[in-house]
Amino acid sequence: MKTTDYGFIGVGRMGAHMARRLLKAGHSLTVFDTSKDAVDELVKSGAQAAGSALEVANNTEKAFLSLPTPDIVTKVCAGLSGAKMLKVVADCSTTGPGGARIAHAELAKAHIIYMDAPVSGGMAGARDGTLAVMVSGKKAVYEQIEPALKQFGKLFYVGEGAGQAQIMKLANNMLAAAVIVLSSEVIAMGAKAGLNPRQMCDVINAGSGRNSATQDKFPRTILTGTFDFGFATGLSYKDVRLCVDEAETMGVPMVVGAAVRQMLAVTQAKYGATSDFTCIAKVVEEWAGVEIRSKKT
């Protein structure tokens, strides 16, 4: 097996798009995922397949992670202790700051540098290279991986501490979920009063209430009734839980955040962890006894 410029561990819905961005930029890449089909698709695009995460680590000095849960990140990082080549891991997963610190400690045992690099912007952002990439860790190492990270989107270096970028990511994802909840409630109220939901979004977006839900998620997936924005309810619930837990640990009140967490718990219980997180609006619809859908004017 030939050594490559980079490795990528976890090439699911987000990771696959990010890996393709590296390939399109001309970088050689070794990839691994527990899904053989996901790996095979990237091999067709020019990637080299590995049989394990450790095999990736034996074939490159710099690797990216894009994994679904903190536990999986920890397990993978612990399994890289015998790596022959790997020197830097840039973790694009959302683990929370606690998870980042654990991953940092696990990799440090093997003298591998951990860089926190969570991303935001959904599958479309990953595909188009328009993600917000939040990075924390050693500045000198950041400069080494910056050319690759630029392929994913706009970079924001937030500090040297392990977990600082995770704090930024959790703050963003809390807001992303919160505006769906509250926008669903007010638009359901308007729809029940006979207002046009699409026109409501237009008015809100022209005024002080505009937000990412009314500007993007409602027109694309809620008003159309498709509920397919591309971010799983279970992942959103995980991120919001991590955010509330971290805030409580830090002594920061998060009263509204706790309510958002509860709404996601209800959404997951009703529609499942693999449902789209815009299904929050379905819960509000059911409770309000009205559908939030586009209406012809």
DSSP string of 150-200, one letter each residue: TTTEEEEEEESSTTHHHHHHHHHHHHHHHHHHHHHHHHHHHHHTT--HHHH
Dig out the tokens for 35 from the structure.
């899904």
**Pairing state of beta strands 119-120 and 131-136?**
antiparallel
What is the CB neighbour count within 10 angstroms for residue 226? 11
User: DSSP class of residue 220?
Assistant: I
Q: Which of 169, 217, 238, 282 is catalytic?
A: 169
DSSP string of 34-63, one letter each residue: S-HHHHHHHHHTT-EE-SSHHHHHTT-SEE
Phi, psi angles (nearest 5°) of residue 121 = 140, 0
- Report the Cα 218 to chain-centroid distance in Å: 19
Decide if 229 contacts 277 (C-beta within 8 A).
yes
Catalytic: 109?
no
- The residue among 54, 82, 58, 43 whose CA lies nearest residue 3 is 58
Q: Quick one: residue 272, left, alpha or beta (phi over 0 = left, psi -120 to 50 = alpha)?
A: left
Decide if 278 contacts 216 (C-beta within 8 A).
no
> Any idea which residues carry the catalytic annotation?
169
